[in-house]
A and B are shown apart, each in its own frame.
Chain A
Amino acid sequence: MIDARLYLLQRLTAIAMLPLIATHLILMIVAINGGLTAEEILGRTQGSVGWALFYGSFVIFAAIHGAIGFRTIAYEWLIPNIRICSVASFGLLIVLIGLGLRAVYAVTV
């Protein structure tokens, strides 16, 4: 159960995440050389508007993308009632955005 608009939104968020995922993976590989400490991470992220925007947008794109996918999978595999699946996936969207932004806030502020 997915209409054209949700399908498009899911593809657009996937496209938007591509450079973010690539940057995140490259950063991890580079940063982990010579060991990784909490101080090192926080030293890079705390007070940085750039990293806050980077991971903040990452969280929002991932939450939208995942919630739409969950809605489809839930309908096809768990509950054949699209209203229930829509409400559940919207709940998941809110939870993912909430937890994600809280984590971003914790390391950047």
Chain B
Amino acid sequence: MKTKDQTLTVTIDRFDGTSHYQTTHNVPTRDNQTVLDVVTWIQQHDDPTLSYRFACRVGMCGSCAMNINGEPKWSCRTHVSKVVEAGSALRISPLRNMPILRDLSVDMTPFFDKWTQAVGYFVPTQTKDDPLPAIKSDDRDRAKANQSIECINCGICYSACDVVAANDAYLGPAALNRAWTLVNDERDGGAKERLEAVSSDAGCHNCHSQHGCSTYCPNLLAPATSIAGLKRQTLLNLLPWGSHDD
């Protein structure tokens, strides 16, 4: 257990709008200290210009995602003791694959634009006057939708994805995971348009199945499995003997 007079060396990758540089800070260690605590301490005591993003501090909002020692994680749910070996330093960088606004804050516009491109929104088939459809909890399609429905759009999978890094246009694991959820939602009426969207040159077939998304998803979802489902469904639809159900 670290004592209060120990310090941790923290290096942060910075960006001021024009140039990239690094700053190094000595942060007092505390018991049960999270990386978000470290970043907050630096902003409050060492460098008030440090820009970063957070909201809930308890792993619900997903806004504090950043690269911690090279791995995308929620800073609020990452204990320093879990990522820093005794005597080693901590390196914090912004998420990959998104334009950096400033320091650790990234512009998530392209990330959310791709949700729209993938038709990652619910297309209703009924009005408020229709009776609510009865969906059994053990329904096969519903079970598939449930597997990937807990995504909170934090962008960690998108940052972890090497295909996004190599291909700007690729829709990415989060948008495709959302698309798969909706494809399996029997109340949704946008399946045809959605399957066409994810079959494009930027779609699910670009996935190399490296499973970086599933490895790093803090909610333990498996976007790679969702993408595999989309590949299967879109290919079955292309085949002359294919069906609309896998």
Contacts and interface: CB of A to CB of B under 8 A. Distances in A.
A8 interface: yes
A13 to B, nearest CB: 14
Nearest to B204: A4
A2 to B, nearest CB: 5
Contact of B167 (A3, A6, A7, A75): A75
A76 B238 contact: no
From DSSP, what is the main secondary structure of chain A's interface residues?
helix
B168 interface: yes
B205 A82 contact: no
Contacts of B167: 1, 75-76, 80
B202 to A, nearest CB: 7
B206 A1 contact: yes
A7 B166 contact: no
Most buried by B among A6, A76, A77: A76
A4 B206 contact: no
Contacts, number: 39
Interface residues of A, number: 15
B100 interface: no
A7 B235 contact: yes
B163 A1 contact: no
Interface residues of B, number: 17
Given A75-B167, A80-B168, A4 B202 contact: no
Contacts of A6: 205
Nearest to A72: B206
B108 to A, nearest CB: 22
B240 to A, nearest CB: 11
Nearest to A3: B201
B88 to A, nearest CB: 33
B238 A8 contact: yes
B169 interface: yes
A79 to B, nearest CB: 12
Contacts of A11: 235
A80 B201 CA distance: 13
A8 B193 CA distance: 19
Given A3-B201, A4-B199, A82-B201, A77 B166 contact: yes
Contacts of B238: 4-5, 8
B215 interface: no
A12 to B, nearest CB: 9
Q: Which 3 A-B pairs have the closest CB atoms?
A: A4-B199, A7-B205, A76-B166
Interface of A: 1-8, 11, 72, 75-77, 80, 82
13 contacts: A2-B205, A3-B199, A3-B205, A4-B199, A4-B235, A5-B199, A6-B205, A7-B205, A8-B235, A11-B235, A76-B166, A80-B167, A82-B201
